[in-house]
């Protein structure tokens, strides 16, 4: 009886209370698994108005969308991007100066010939104008007279200046471009491609940012006449800060535009659009497409060793290899993890090597699609070793049977 009171009765009471508590407790809600976030689908680029066009990522220089990118077309006043580039380069080299007084010749005053689109800075014949004002007049107002005056001051004649333009174009790798004049008025054998103009625009922004900033100015007054920038995107979107418009009957409506959002910049070049509005709409659509669906990553830093293969007959036993410039790659959003990199390195490396000397090749692919191939270079000097070191390695090389191969390297080092 005592056992019942001291043991069984309390146990029964505890069991009853526990069951009552469980009965009154709310039933837990069923656990619904969280859905997997789908990969962002990337649509094809917009079908824009233009005979040829390209969309370029500024940081990597990659063309990420295109139509007839290498077609040779009349560039109209997009020519003045190169005029601007040459003048900026000559200023940087100390050959001319922003404060130089420039005399306006009859050739410049008349605008360089018949058949132009009539854009002018209203310069007076025989007057002297500071070079800086001519630069503003050409970039903002698209003045043909300003472009020709700049050309004559820089090279002595417009014809000689065209020679400079073509020399710089070759230096930049513009393989489908040839200039005859500084303003873009129609002329035989005067042409450029959308790809080349994107390459040129990128070089202008990269090398002469202060000069490029002029193209974001919305209006400029000269000789009592105020004129607005013809790039209407400057008013439409605050991220747009350049570059140049163009139009002739032969060329159609053209626009090179650039915009910056955060750390990303895109460049769009549209040639042969049907109207002023169409060229602006087309360039804006391309820029928005690039910002929305593409991203740029730094895969490898300049000067960092990515591999250290065996070095023969050197002071050191290995040769550190890397890239001479930061390697940037632009891919569709969500595809970074699919990037792969590999290195082609010769089987036998014999000292000496100089820092920056090409030794092999670094390849970057997206799946089976090649994206970039860049030189692998020595990231430090590798001089020859002493006499006995070289002698010993010469003996060992008799037994060396290495073969050149392709070695994987982790992306993002």
Active site residues: 77, 80, 142
CA distance 218 to 22: 74
Q: What is the 3-state secondary structure (H, E, C) of 118-141?
A: CCCCCCCCCCEEEHHHHHHHHHHH
Q: Is the dihedral of CA 41, 329, 78, 176 positive or negative?
A: negative
**Residue of 336, 314, 334 lying closest to 380 (CA atoms):** 314
CA distance 319 to 392: 18
CA distance 71 to 300: 33
CA distance 249 to 253: 8
Residue 10 token pair = 């309390």
Query: What Cα–Cα distance (Å) separates residue 39 from each residue in 36, 42, 291, 331?
Result: 9, 9, 17, 14
| Helix, strand, coil distribution of the chain in percent, nearest 5 | 35, 25, 40
Q: Which residue's entry shows tokens 């139009």?
A: 247
């Amino acid at each position: 009886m005592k056992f019942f009171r001291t043991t069984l009765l309390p146990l029964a009471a505890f069991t009853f209370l526990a069951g009552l508590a469980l009965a009154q407790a709310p039933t837990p809600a069923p656990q619904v698994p969280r859905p997997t976030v789908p990969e962002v689908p990337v649509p094809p680029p917009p079908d824009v108005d233009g005979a040829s066009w390209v969309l370029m990522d500024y940081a990597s220089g990659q063309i990420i969308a295109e139509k007839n990118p290498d077609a040779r077309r009349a560039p109209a006043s997009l020519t003045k991007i190169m005029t601007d580039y040459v003048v900026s380069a000559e200023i940087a080299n100390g050959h001319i100066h922003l404060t130089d007084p420039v005399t306006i010749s009859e050739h410049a005053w008349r605008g360089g010939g018949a058949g132009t689109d009539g854009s002018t800075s209203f310069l007076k014949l025989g007057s002297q104008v500071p070079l800086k004002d001519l630069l503003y007049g050409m970039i903002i107002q698209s003045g043909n007279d300003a472009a020709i005056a700049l050309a004559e001051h820089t090279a002595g004649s417009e014809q000689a200046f065209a020679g400079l333009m073509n020399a710089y174009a070759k230096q930049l790798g513009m393989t489908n471009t040839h200039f005859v004049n500084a303003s873009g008025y129609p002329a035989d054998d005067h042409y450029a491609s959308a790809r080349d103009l994107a390459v040129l625009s990128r070089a202008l922004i990269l090398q002469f940012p202060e000069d490029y900033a002029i193209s974001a100015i919305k209006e400029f007054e000269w000789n009592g006449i105020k004129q607005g920038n013809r790039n209407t995107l400057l008013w439409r979107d605050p991220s747009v800060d350049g570059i140049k418009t163009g139009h002739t009957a032969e060329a159609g409506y053209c626009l090179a535009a650039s915009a910056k959002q955060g750390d990303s910049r895109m460049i769009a070049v549209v040639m042969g659009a049907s109207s002023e509005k169409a060229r602006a709409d087309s360039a804006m659509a391309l820029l928005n497409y690039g910002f929305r669906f593409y991203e740029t990553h730094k895969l490898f830093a300049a000067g960092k060793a990515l591999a250290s293969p065996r070095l023969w007959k050197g002071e050191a036993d290995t040769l550190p290899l890397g890239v001479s410039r930061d390697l940037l790659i632009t891919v569709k959003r969500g595809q970074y993890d699919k990037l792969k990199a590999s290195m082609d390195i010769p089987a036998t490396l014999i000292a000496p090597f100089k820092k920056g000397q090409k030794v092999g090749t670094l390849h970057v692919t997206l799946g089976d699609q090649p994206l970039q191939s860049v030189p692998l270079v020595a990231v430090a000097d590798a001089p020859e070793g002493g006499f006995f070191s070289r002698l010993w390695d010469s003996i060992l090389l008799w037994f060396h049977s290495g073969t050149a191969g392709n070695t994987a390297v982790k992306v993002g080092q």
